[in-house]
Amino acid sequence: MIVIICVAGLVFGIKVIAAPVEGWFQIGSAVLIIGTGQALFGFILFELMVLLAKMIPPKQ
């Protein structure tokens, strides 16, 4: 779910930056930064969950 939101944010940000309307470059840049931040946050969350799963002792 987070990956879909990140990809949508990045694509939308690139499209907004490419728009010929004045002032949309800043909006597109903000959306790109937010999308990148979400991707990084999702990656960190995934790695944290993997590490927590490895800490569970195996069933005997």
For the record, the structure tokens of 49 come out as 């969950």
Of 55 and 32, more confident: 55
Of residues 20 and 2, more confidence is placed in: 20
Q: What is the pLDDT of residue 22?
A: 78
How does pLDDT run across 3-52, given as a tens digit for each residue? 677 677 777 777 777 777 777 777 777 877 887 888 888 888 888 999 99
Structure-model confidence comparison of residues 57 and 60, the more confident one:
57
Q: Given this model, what pLDDT does residue 2 score?
A: 66
| Angle made by CA atoms 14, 22, 13, in degrees to the nearest 5 | 15
**What pLDDT, on a 0 to 100 scale, did the predictor assign at position 56?**
85
Helix, strand, or coil (residue 60): coil
